[in-house]
Structure 1
């Protein structure tokens, strides 16, 4: 991967690591499939760090622009897929 993750320099090291974990799960969902519960868990932590919808959208858009992976679409699919164990885009 030849791109950078969107991070906020005001975040702590732990918060940066947790946001990167979320984006790694998004990547995994596109590349090979990701466990739905794991994705939802790292997203909940992401939302603790980025509680606002506007900032979330901005970060998601930055990530999609550099990676080609839509965090919004994979989260939408994971929330709608109650019976699925693995999310694959």
Structure 2
């Protein structure tokens, strides 16, 4: 995922929220390059959900990011949720 592109975000978010959402999307990308501990994915997803509680908005942001990064946020989060504690996730 060497290509740089704008990450989906809202102008209503604070600088901290923008950084937290970017870190979530970055951890998703990383799972396509190397294994990531499931807790890293789930903790960043938990923070993402604090910022984007709406399922509809979540789907919109996931779709925007997935298309540009050629990943699947939803599949990555599901794989992490179904993994054992401490397990590493690689997509």
Please give the TM-score of this superposition, normalised by the length of structure 2.
Answer: 0.93
Contact 2:38 2:85 in 1 (8 A): no
Structure 1: 5+ residue stretches without partners: none
Residue 26 of structure 1 corresponds to: 28
Residue 43 of structure 2 corresponds to: 41
Superposition misfits of 4+ residues, deviation over 6 angstroms: none
Cα deviation for residue 84 of structure 1 reads 5.4
Number of matched pairs: 89
Structure 2: 5+ residue stretches without partners: none
Please give the TM-score of this superposition, normalised by the length of structure 1.
Answer: 0.95
What's the Cα RMSD here?
A: 1.0
